[in-house]
Amino acid sequence: MDINTFIAQFLSGLSTAMLLFLISSGLTLIFGVVNVLNFAHGSFYLLGTYFAYQLMQLFDNFWVGLLVGAVGAGIVGMIIEFLFLRRIYGRAQEGAFQLLMTFAFILILDDVVKFIWGTEYKTIPKPASLVGSLNIGSVTVPTYNIFIIIVGLLVVLFAWYFLTKTDTGKTVRASSLDRIMLGLLGTNVPMIMTLVFGVATAMGGLAGVLAAPLRTVTPGAGVEFIIDSMIVVVIGGFGNFWGALLGALIIGEVLSFGILWMPELATVLTFIVMIIVLIVKPEGLLAKRAVGRK
């Protein structure tokens, strides 16, 4: 492989990685703060896509779609957390019930999408300003991929600033460490959890809109992406924000280069990476404590 192909493939992997990061960082935030493994996260990705599609039918503007897709998915997420998930926190065998409840929401939301928008393929075109490609040295890269990478980096920067520099960010981190103590100090912890759920699902919705021009929009799209994001979260370490970034980079590049070398087995490769990580370091690459081990 010559260096140009390598760079092109690397950048393509990087844009996949950024999309994966947007979804999996939401997943990992929810797990860290709310202590829920949200299997239905892919459905919010899906909702984001379809909200954007609907808005673009009305206004024909990608940026409005992007905003509404993300905000809409976040609002639905907050409603679901507030009305349903909240009721099973702290129950015996909570893990199984979380799995079931979020599984129920996959069934419900995916069918609602089918009901409203139908099963046929939809397309969301790239915004006119991002069509075409850029030349970096002798490598040609689609402008839209660069745009996704930039958005991803902006989210990383913003999240870093929010979580480490602002008071609200510190409260969010505190609630992942000791919910009871934080509550005793006078913080409205349930509200923080609802907000975090909303922000995380909004990021899922944002990823859904961003990915739409690159893939076809179908009701099954959420499920395809969610499995890869689960793998990212597991590799990086549950609840670990920076772990999600590292995991997304690994899986994005594995997918990108895997398709080049072993087109047959690219999707299987990600599972193999996950299995290796779980056997060698079950708590994930960036987790500090040894959790989940016997």
Partner 1 sequence: MKKIKDYLPWIVYFVFFLGIVVVNPGTHYIHLVARVIIFSLYAVAFNLLYGTTGLVSFGHALFYGVGAYITGMLVKATSPEFFLLYILLGAVGAAFVSFFIGLLTLRLTGIYFTMLTLAFAQLVWGLTFKLYHFTGGDDGIQAIAKPALLSGGVTKYYLFSFVVVTICIYILWRIRRSPFGTVLNSIRQNPQRITFLGLNVYKNQLKAFVISAFFAGIAGGLYAGLDGSIHPDMLHWPTSGNAILMATIGGMGTFFGPVVGAGILTGLEEIVGKYTEYWSFYIGLVVLIVVLLFPNGVLGIKRLGGSKNNEEKETEVACNSGN
Q: Return residues touching partner 1 (CB under 8 A).
A: 37, 84, 87-88, 90-97, 99-101, 103-108, 110-112, 114-115, 227, 230-231, 234, 238, 264-265, 267-268, 271-272, 274-275, 278-279, 282-283, 291-294
Judged by DSSP in three states, 21 sits in helix
Residue burial 148-179, b: 16+ Cβ < 10 Å; e: rest: bbebbeebbeebeeebeeeeeeebbebbbeeb
Tell me which amino acid residue 233 is. Answer: V
Minimum CB–partner distance for residue 164 and partner 1 (Å): 27
Minimum CB–partner distance for residue 93 and partner 1 (Å): 6
Judged by DSSP in three states, 183 sits in helix
Chain length of the chain: 294
Contact by Cβ (8 Å): 86, 34? no
Nearer to partner 1 by Cβ, of 172 and 233: the residue is 233
At 80, list the tokens.
Answer: 């679901």
Contact by Cβ (8 Å): 207, 253? no
Nearer to partner 1 by Cβ, of 213 and 247: the residue is 247
| Cα within 13 Å of Cα(169), Cβ side | 10
Q: How far is 233 from 226, CA to CA, in rounded Å? A: 10
Provide CB contacts within 8 A for 105, sequence distance 6+: 40, 43, 80, 84
Judged by DSSP in three states, 123 sits in coil
What is the chain's Cα-based Rg?
19
Nearer to partner 1 by Cβ, of 37 and 221: the residue is 37
At 263, list the tokens.
Answer: 């087109």
Minimum CB–partner distance for residue 184 and partner 1 (Å): 18
Q: How far is 125 from 276, CA to CA, in rounded Å? A: 38
Nearer to partner 1 by Cβ, of 1 and 180: the residue is 180
Nearer to partner 1 by Cβ, of 75 and 88: the residue is 88
Nearer to partner 1 by Cβ, of 37 and 148: the residue is 37
Minimum CB–partner distance for residue 275 and partner 1 (Å): 6
Nearer to partner 1 by Cβ, of 100 and 136: the residue is 100
Nearer to partner 1 by Cβ, of 36 and 78: the residue is 36
Contact by Cβ (8 Å): 118, 124? no
Minimum CB–partner distance for residue 291 and partner 1 (Å): 8
Minimum CB–partner distance for residue 112 and partner 1 (Å): 7
